[in-house]
Structures are given as structure tokens and as C-alpha cells.
Amino acid sequence: MKQALLIIDAQQELVDGNHEEKSVFNKELLLDNVNLVINKAIESDAFIVFIRDQDVAGGKGEGFQIHPKIKVPKATKIFDKAATNSFYGTPLLSFLKDNKIEHLVVMGCKTEQCIDTAVRTATVNHFDVTLVGDGHSTTDSVILPAEKIISHHNKILHGHYNVDHFSVVRLAQEDLFQPIHDNYR
């Protein structure tokens, strides 16, 4: 089975914050887990894809780049997006289909926006998804603290399905590139 690690919006200014917005919740754990899962992807011979949001840091400079604490492998694909949905207006879907990817491991920022949208869109597009439960983050909203937003999404996205394909939530320390979706079919 061909697999890919999809890391969404793990950009310096989004993760660290700026003068208008604070850093994401548990940013050091997020960065550590991204690097841990990148190593697992390499060991599993999975494709590694980063998505960058063009709204972050005005789409330029150091703030727009992938966070400097993340060890980006040379063979990594990087796609830029203008919308919340990583699949909209990007070559992501074509890349995944052309490479016959069946399983996506998803992590990054922000939980309630780009992560939620990517997980749901991927299942509609015939991918099984593993969301890394301790590998996505966000900031507080006016209604909920970031920790509650993350917990809520881990609960609602575990077992989310679109007929034949669905998502499960697992932790970064688990063997993420040994999919468990067939256990639930």
C-alpha cells in the first residue's frame, strides 16, 4: 500500500504566532511530533508532502516558510494553497492519485480549519486517513480554548467516514504507517 504524510501549514509564523496572534497550543510537542512522524514516514518509504498557506506572513519571508525546527527531507513535495482546503486549487489530489496513494497520515495546523477540512476532503476522495491526535494544533477561539478544540476534533474525526473510506485518530508514537482501517470495516 502506498502512503503519504501530509503536513499542513506548519509554518513559522503560524506556529510561533506574531503581534496579532499567539502561538499554537503545545507548539514544542507539535514540532517534536512532526519530526518524529517524518522519521517514521522515511522508514516506511512514504511520500512526504507539506502544504503552505499563502495567507501566513503575507505569503513571503521567514514567517511563510516551514518552521525551522522541522527537519524537511530533500525528497519532500511542497504545495502552496490559497484556501482552507489543501485540495482546492492545488496539485495535491493529482499528485496523490498519480502516485497511487491509498492512505494519508495528516498533521499540522489549524485543527478546526485546515486539518478538519483536509481529513474530510480526503475521505470523500477515496483515501483512508490517519489523523495524528497529538500532531495537530490551534489557538484559542472566542468560544473554546485550543486544548478543547483539539480534543473535540480528535473525538469527532475518529471513525469519520464517507462510505468506503474513513479516518482514525492515533498518537505520534504509534506505528502510523501500519494502517488499522481494515480492523473497523
Domains and CATH numbers, the chain: 2-184 (3.40.50.850)
pLDDT value at position 164?
87
Asked whether the predicted pLDDT for residue 185 surpasses 80, the reply is no
Contacts of 38 (CB under 8 A, 6+ apart): 5, 7, 48, 70, 71, 72, 73
Percent of the chain's residues with pLDDT above 90: 95
Interval 131-169: pLDDT, tens: 999 999 999 999 999 999 999 999 999 998 877 899 999
List the beta bridge partners of residue 134.
none
Four-CA torsion 82, 84, 88, 93, nearest 10 degrees:
120
Asked whether the predicted pLDDT for residue 82 surpasses 80, the reply is yes
Interval 126-135: pLDDT, tens: 999 999 999 9
Model confidence, pTM: 0.97
Average pLDDT of span 55-80: 97
